[in-house]
Chains A and B, each alone.
Chain A
Amino acid sequence: NAGVTQTPKFQVLKTGQSMTLQCAQDMNHNSMYWYRQDPGMGLRLIYYSASEGTTDKGEVPNGYNVSRLNKREFSLRLESAAPSQTSVYFCASSRTGNTEAFFGQGTRLTVV
């Protein structure tokens, strides 16, 4: 039972570099999410995809883009990384929007 799988687990970027965080779920969930977690602040929603083919901004979308590649996969792209984007990024999925979400193990990103 893989659940939600994120890659990579760790990444160090230089300011201005770009990268894509990958996420895949094998639970046939309709909805997927990208969060960031900073110390003492809980989780903040970056983008979500209510269903395949749709994406919407969350609370903190600036500096990020997403792609819902298919029902299983939802990627997060940083076009030009900034130190303020140093964080732990979590992907999550849920059957529908108002049901409980299952989380991946996270990607620890450092931008120097």
Chain B
Amino acid sequence: GQQLNQSPQSMFIQEGEDVSMNCTSSSIFNTWLWYKQDPGEGPVLLIALYKAGELTSNGRLTAQFGITRKDSFLNISASIPSDVGIYFCAGLPPDSNYQLIWGAGTKLIIKP
């Protein structure tokens, strides 16, 4: 089946640093979604992307829908302690309206 490769698996950063993570696939997607999950909680939607090339911001977060439709990235600028958590990408294939394909997550840890 289709897979999403999300990288890096984890990141150790200093507060104030910028963060970049991405998801890639060998297949195309019609929609890319970026979620954040805090410990003990369900994922919360950060950004939704619906068109190839689309660049969307949500505060310090910026995400882009790759022009090939096979990748997406998420950037976080000037990280703060509450950015800690697991970030997931999810893609919606052209042949499905309901079955999102999920990346394995990027765990963000801020070094004290």
A45, B99: Cβ atoms under 8 Å?
yes
B104, A40: Cβ atoms under 8 Å?
yes
B98, A59: Cβ atoms under 8 Å?
no
Q: For residue A41, give the distance in angstroms from its CB to the closest CB of chain B.
A: 6
A98, B92: Cβ atoms under 8 Å?
yes
Asked whether any CB of chain B lies closer than 8 Å to the CB of A17, the reply is no
B102, A104: Cβ atoms under 8 Å?
no
Given contacts A97-B96, A103-B44, 19 further A-B contacts (CB under 8 A): A4-B42, A42-B6, A42-B102, A43-B100, A45-B99, A50-B98, A58-B99, A59-B99, A90-B42, A92-B42, A96-B97, A98-B30, A98-B92, A100-B33, A100-B48, A103-B43, A104-B42, A106-B40, A106-B41
25 residue pairs bridging A and B, Cβ less than 8 Å apart: A4-B42, A31-B98, A33-B98, A42-B6, A42-B102, A42-B103, A42-B104, A42-B105, A43-B43, A43-B88, A43-B100, A43-B102, A48-B99, A59-B99, A90-B42, A98-B30, A98-B31, A99-B48, A101-B100, A102-B45, A103-B42, A103-B44, A105-B42, A106-B40, A106-B42
